[in-house]
Amino acid sequence: MRILVISDIHANLTALEAVLADAGPVDETWCLGDMIGYGPDPNEVLERMRSLPNLFCILGNHDVAVLGQMDDAVFNTEARRSLTWQKKSVSPENFAYLKSLSQAALVREKVTLAHGSPRDPVWEYILNTLVARLNFDAFKTPYCFVGHSHIQCIFHLDDMRDHVSLEILLPGEVLKMTPRAILNPGSVGQPRDRDPRSSYAIYDPLASTWESRRVEYDVSAVQKRIQAAGLPEKHAARLSEGW
């Protein structure tokens, strides 16, 4: 069984299409939120996501903000500019779709799904082993999948030693999963680990494997659309370097 795990598309249709093509046929798609925000293609991304069969999706902080359920003041200046544009751009149909999704952490079989963390599904970043350790107490399943940080990584908990370790897999490397772990597929539309290629993962629940993957896409085409829409130049520039 192949499950496509994606997060943080951020209104980048070109990156999303590259990931879908590279992943090939899958049985399900699990999206960990932030389909919109930052990028130039909010409606196109939402419509493409809605067209996917067997899609299971939760909300991220940018999605919640566009719905008006979060104070924009918590975002930086450039992100607020983008959110203002996104709010005006999202169609009523896509707004209704976002509103139908949950911002809470949800469980799919052996996996807890959250955008930020199981402790704070919308906003908390899991960026280090200390924060990861605190979050292992907040979910009961063997695994938790998160996004939000835009960094492809895995945190393992050794219960015997009460020790958390951080692992970065090479693209294409297949991990034989062992409980307990917090896994992040990285960002489709705005990677921040100094690798500009789109990031995602393939999860096989029957074989208990996780494959971190990367794929190139036409960054310059997205940058041109960001500039044409009058969105912050920073959001175009960072795509080239993955920061």
Sign of CA dihedral 49, 167, 114, 147: negative
Determine contact, residues 64/86, Cβ cutoff 8 Å.
Answer: no
Q: What is the pLDDT of residue 243?
A: 96
What pairing do the DSSP bridges indicate for beta strands 181-184 and 174-176? unpaired
Span 34-58, pLDDT tens digits: 999 999 999 999 999 999 999 999 9
Q: What is the pLDDT of residue 104?
A: 97
Q: Alpha helix locations (H) across 90-189? A: 92-99, 129-136
Angle among Cα 192, 49, 84 to the nearest 5 degrees reads: 60
- Domains of the chain, with CATH numbers? 3-241 (3.60.21.10)
Determine contact, residues 103/110, Cβ cutoff 8 Å.
Answer: no
Which of the residues in the chain have pLDDT under 70? none
Full-model pTM: 0.97
Determine contact, residues 236/14, Cβ cutoff 8 Å.
Answer: no
Cα 150 from Cα 221, distance rounded (Å) = 21
Q: What is the pLDDT of residue 180?
A: 98
Q: What is the pLDDT of residue 171?
A: 96
